[in-house]
A and B are shown apart, each in its own frame.
Chain A
């Protein structure tokens, strides 16, 4: 019994991932030991920088700026890509119209369009939001279409036998059955948005986490850039966990796992 309990604890420790983090920080600390802070800051120097940017309010302001852009761009992508995806999946004629464009356009990375968007939408927030919208749009669209196309035909059949008309079948069978796919698209869209907002801020400047990382590097404050990078990782992690938690809670009956 005693040994069994022991392995239980060991397993718990291994499983929570703390070992990986200890190894990671140790290797990082060893590597940084031989180099200057400007070249590679140590974990402790990074921590100090993190405390500094938090306490002087720089980080908070940049987080709010970046999150605001993500919210706008990603939100707009959700609002446009889902309806277009539903129509494209459902109506063959719309699919014939949309799919040829979609199959080409979705391979153009948002970053490739940055300079064009700058010319078209200006250097302020609009171009960044438009870029995020573009980046998040395609994952949501493609997954929404997939959701509609893979709707279980037997459920459609059953609902029409019970007297549900075409419009009701669309809203009570086809849309709900696409929810897990749409949700996957929305999650992928969020990670595209985060990647894109950083790239846009790095290239365009102004404010935001991307700008923090870029400008710190330019002023040889590498530890500040590291603080920004770590914040970015945490934001992505928390946002995805939060989204999947909300999905599981609210969309359980739709089959979101």
Chain B
């Protein structure tokens, strides 16, 4: 692992202004991500982890502090960051192929080849002429992963990407995302509320404290890959995080 930092989040805060009051969603978050790392961000629902991801993506504006991608402050969305949302967000009126190439430049042949390459990567060969409505939830999400990867982002941001899938599909997709990460060597930041998922994929698990969001701790996951969910070391990290959440919830209640 190289030492160069691809993303630096420094003292970031975000306040949402609503008509009746200001809501502080994020308060003083610091985080450094190295090139090629897989970071899992975990926290209770509504803890502001998605807001943090959206800030990195450039989908939320006017934040305090700095989010530096390759040293440049993030101000708006850009092709250097790919985003995978919880829902696949494919355009229902376009075929898989047209969804994948939306906004891309290049000759027809080039684009077709690109589409084939990436559909193969997500195990969806020969699906280019199909409409999203004809795909299952897992397949559609795989298309959206291909769509993000095709743009060769510096960082791939995953916002609870498997939250809407059933348990079995979810496990398969976790394995696939892991495989893709190893092949593409893209830096990935994934927000999730699934502890197993966070451990299975992450080099580091960032645990966030809610309202307003703060980084509570960063846990380095030192389990060799490919990882087994049934391993002893896996159970160790799982207990560590579960215990943390149990205590923090108690603190919160008391």
Q: Chain A: residues with CB nearer than 8 A to chain B?
A: 154-155, 157-165, 168, 172-173, 176-177, 179, 253-255
Contact = CB atoms under 8 A, between A and B. Distances in A.
Nearest to B83: A161
B91 interface: yes
28 contacts: A154-B89, A155-B89, A157-B59, A157-B77, A157-B89, A158-B83, A159-B91, A159-B102, A161-B57, A161-B59, A162-B102, A162-B103, A162-B147, A162-B148, A162-B151, A163-B79, A163-B151, A164-B102, A165-B103, A168-B103, A172-B91, A172-B94, A176-B91, A177-B93, A179-B93, A253-B92, A253-B131, A254-B93
B89 A158 contact: yes
B103 A159 contact: yes
Nearest to B148: A162
A162 B81 CA distance: 9
Contacts of A253: 92-93, 131, 133
Contacts of B83: 158, 161
Contacts of A254: 92-93
Nearest to A156: B89
Given A162-B102, A253-B131, 6 more contacts: A154-B87, A161-B77, A163-B151, A164-B102, A176-B91, A177-B93
B82 interface: yes
A143 to B, nearest CB: 18
Contacts of B81: 161
B200 to A, nearest CB: 25
B234 interface: no
Nearest to B157: A161
B245 interface: no
Interface string B139-181: 0000000011001000000000000000000000000000000
A168 B104 CA distance: 11
B92 A255 contact: yes
A163 B104 contact: yes
Contact of A173 (B59, B85, B91): B91
Contact of B77 (A160, A179, A255): A160
Contacts of B57: 161
A157 B83 CA distance: 10
A165 B11 CA distance: 31
A172 B148 CA distance: 18
A160 B103 CA distance: 9
Q: Which 3 residue pairs of A and B lie closest in terms of their CB atoms, listed nearest first?
A: A164-B103, A158-B89, A163-B103
A181 to B, nearest CB: 14
Contacts of B91: 155, 159, 172-173, 176
Contacts of B79: 162-163
A44 B113 CA distance: 69
A247 B93 CA distance: 14
A225 to B, nearest CB: 46
Contacts of B102: 159, 162-164, 168, 172
A164 B79 CA distance: 10
Nearest to A157: B59
A161 B91 CA distance: 13
Q: Considering residues B85, B89, B151, which has the most beta carbons from chain A within 10 angstroms of its beta carbon? A: B89
Contacts of B89: 154-155, 157-158
Contacts of A173: 91
Interface in B57-116: 57, 59, 77, 79, 81-83, 85, 87, 89, 91-94, 102-104
A68 to B, nearest CB: 33
A154 B85 contact: yes
A10 B79 CA distance: 62
Contacts of A172: 91, 94, 102
A164 B82 CA distance: 13
Contacts of A154: 85, 87, 89
B51 to A, nearest CB: 14
Contacts of A177: 93
A254 B94 CA distance: 9
A179 to B, nearest CB: 7
B84 to A, nearest CB: 9
B61 to A, nearest CB: 13
A247 to B, nearest CB: 14
A198 B28 CA distance: 69
